[in-house]
């Protein structure tokens, strides 16, 4: 939807937009609304996906301005460790390069002792969070999810446990016969602090039919997430973009997340996850030739900032998916969070990701300071733990 009707001269009512160059009337109106604190409507978000030239520059600048208004001249990170406890999985998502079958040579399963050991290593490095997710093995005891929580709490009672996607919760609830509400309550009672809002990918059913047809349907995903919120378990929210989805699909996905947030208020952040393609079936079958462009990365983060303003204050630039350099730049285009140190990362690496598995806190601090922002180490739920001085302070 390219814009052809250029306004000859902006009316000067908004000096900020005026300074950003000639914009179409339509784009100017959308960005003015955003600057006045109104979240984007679906059509407005869609229009911004077609921004180019000065319009694109204005989108990034307005997203940065709104970000600063919502969270200040800061950027955050969390010291955490990923623990992907098994790659044994029967689901077979075509976008996933991580899963193995039980017969594969390189299938692995961590024991509870392995998980405790990794938790203690993370604690020694200053981690406040362990992020635990895994595949869905065919032969599995659904109470293993509970036992993981017990094992972590036994070794490090103060560690925040951010664990188990809605897909894993569904699987555990089916294996134990508890129903997902009872299963979630049990997990909360055993120390689950929050949940990753993963396993959503892109909500459009025709997209999901191609990339992850065995995943749980959107309605069930939303029910599990809303139930978690009602039980006092916050979640993140995510989207996996840059494969076969369209801008319409991205906006519809964000709409679904916005609706959940309006109902429960339990979402802590939105995490766009750029698709990593090399070792995936989607790529092998020729359905996807590459991942997202830097341009799409920028648009998704900046538009998300404007779309969710007033509802979700934190937009994460996931360095392990898009690289620390681009993630750094996106902190000036609507994102306000770098994600975590991770310490180990199997999922992106198995899909062909080339980023490191560990970024040290000092690296985050340096990257944030370069931007003239104040670095803040945060908790999982965005409580400040350590506020650093910004450069030159």
* Residue 136 contacts ligand SF4 per CB under 6 A: yes
- Span of 5-13, 51-59, 62-70, 90-98 interacting with ligand SF4 by CB under 6 A: 90-98
Per the document, the length of the chain is: 393
85 binds ligand SF4 (CB under 6 A): no
Among 91, 178, 218, 244, binds ligand SF4 (CB under 6 A): 91
HEC-encoded secondary structure of the chain: CCCCCECCCCCCCCHHHHCCCCCEHHHHHHHHHHHCCCCCCHHHHHHHCCCCHHHHHHHHHHHHHHHHHHHCCEEEEECEEEEECECECCCCCCCCCCCECCCCCCCCECCHHHHHHHHHHHHHCCCCEEEEECCCCCCCCCCHHHHHHHHHHHHCCCCEEEECCHHHHHHHHHHHCCCHHHHHHHHHHCCEEEECCCCCCCCCHHHHHHHCCCCCCHHHHHHHHHHHHHCCCCEEEEEEECCCCCHHHHHHHHHHHHHHHHHHCCEEEEEEEECCCCCCHHHHCCCCCCCCCHHHHHHHHHHHHHHCCCCCCCEECCHHHHCHHHHHHHCCCCCCEEEECCCCCCHHHHCCCCCCCCCCHHHHHHHHHHCCCEEEEECCCCCEEEECCCCCC
288 belongs to the binding site for ligand SF4 (CB under 6 A): no
Angle subtended by helix axes 218-230 and 247-264, to nearest 10:
30
Based on CB atoms, which residue is closest to ligand SF4, 41 or 142? 142
223-262 binders of ligand SF4 (CB under 6 A) = none
Given the complex with ligand SF4, which of 96 and 303 has the nearer CB atom?
A: 96
Binding of residue 92 to ligand SF4 (CB under 6 A): yes
Note whether 373 binds ligand SF4 by CB under 6 A.
Answer: no
Is position 107 an interface residue for ligand SF4 (rule: CB under 6 A)?
Answer: no
Tell me how far, at minimum, the Cβ of 135 lies from ligand SF4, in Å. 4
Contact 185, 231 (CB under 8 A): yes
Q: How far is the CB of 238 from ligand SF4 (least distance, A)?
A: 12
Shortest CB 247 distance to ligand SF4, Å? 23
Name the one range near ligand SF4 by CB under 6 A: 86-94, 242-250, 251-259, 314-322: 86-94
Nearest approach, Cβ of 283 to ligand SF4 (angstroms)? 15
- Rounded Cα distance between 271 and 43, Å, is 21
* CB closer to ligand SF4, 80 vs 212: 212
Task: Please report how close the Cβ of residue 191 comes to ligand SF4 at its closest, in angstroms.
Answer: 23
Among 10, 40, 75, 96, binds ligand SF4 (CB under 6 A): 96
**Which listed residue (55, 135, 266, 375) binds ligand SF4 by CB under 6 A?**
135
- Span of 31-39, 89-97, 118-126, 175-183 interacting with ligand SF4 by CB under 6 A: 89-97
Dihedral sign (CA 33, 34, 37, 38): positive
Q: Which of 39, 60, 75, 98 binds ligand SF4 (CB under 6 A)?
A: 98
- 277 touches ligand SF4 (CB under 6 A): no
Q: Rounded to an integer, what distance in angstroms lies between the CA atom of residue 72 and that of residue 341?
A: 22
60 binds ligand SF4 (CB under 6 A): no
Q: Count residues binding ligand SF4 (CB under 6 A).
A: 10
Give the x-and-dash track for 147-186 against ligand SF4 (CB under 6 A). Answer: --------------------x-------------------
Contact status, residue 253 vs residue 208, Cβ threshold 8 Å: no
Task: Tell the smallest beta-carbon distance from residue 136 to ligand SF4 (Å).
Answer: 6
- Pick between residue 115 and residue 167 the one whose CB is nearest to ligand SF4: 167
Work out whether 93 is an interface residue with ligand SF4 (CB under 6 A).
yes
Residue ranges binding ligand SF4 (CB under 6 A): 89, 91-93, 96, 98-99, 135-136, 167
């Amino acid at each position: 939807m390219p814009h052809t009707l250029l306004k000859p001269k902006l009316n000067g009512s908004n000096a900020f937009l005026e300074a950003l160059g000639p914009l179409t009337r339509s784009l100017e109106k959308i960005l003015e609304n955003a600057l006045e604190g109104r979240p984007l409507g679906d059509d407005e978000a869609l229009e911004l996906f077609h921004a180019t030239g000065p319009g694109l520059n204005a989108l990034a600048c307005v997203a940065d301005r709104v970000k600063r208004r919502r969270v200040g001249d800061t950027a955050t990170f969390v010291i955490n460790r990923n623990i992907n406890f098994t790659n044994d999985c029967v689901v077979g998502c075509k976008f996933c390069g991580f899963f193995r079958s039980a017969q594969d040579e390189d299938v692995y399963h961590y024991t509870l002792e392995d998980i405790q050991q990794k938790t203690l290593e993370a604690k020694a490095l200053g981690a406040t969070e362990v992020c635990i997710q895994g595949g869905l093995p065919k032969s599995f005891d659904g109470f293993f999810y509970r036992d993981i929580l017990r094992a972590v709490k036994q070794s490090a009672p103060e560690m925040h446990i951010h664990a188990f996607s809605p897909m894993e919760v569904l699987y555990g609830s089916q294996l134990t016969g508890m129903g997902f509400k009872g299963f979630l309550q049990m997990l909360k009672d055993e120390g689950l602090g929050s949940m990753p809002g993963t396993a959503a990918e892109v909500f459009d059913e025709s997209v999901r039919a191609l990339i992850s047809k065995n995943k749980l349907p959107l309605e069930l995903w939303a029910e599990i997430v809303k139930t978690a919120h009602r039980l006092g378990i916050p979640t993140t929210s995510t989207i996996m973009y840059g494969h076969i989805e369209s801008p319409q699909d991205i906006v519809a996905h964000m709409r679904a997340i916005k609706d959940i947030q309006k109902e429960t208020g339990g979402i802590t952040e939105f995490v766009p996850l750029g698709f990593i393609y090399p070792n995936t079936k989607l790529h092998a079958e020729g359905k996807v030739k590459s991942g997202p462009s830097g341009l799409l990365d920028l648009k998704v983060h900046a538009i998300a900032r404007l779309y969710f303003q007033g509802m979700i204050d934190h937009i994460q630039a996931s360095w392990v998916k898009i690289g620390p350099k681009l993630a750094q730049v996106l902190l000036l285009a609507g994102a306000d969070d770098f994600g975590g140190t991770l310490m180990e990362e199997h999922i992106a690496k198995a899909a062909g990701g080339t980023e490191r598995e560990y970024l040290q806190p000092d690296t985050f601090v340096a990257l944030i300071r370069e931007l003239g922002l104040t670095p803040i180490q945060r908790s999982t739920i965005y409580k400040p733990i350590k506020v650093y001085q910004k450069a030159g302070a």
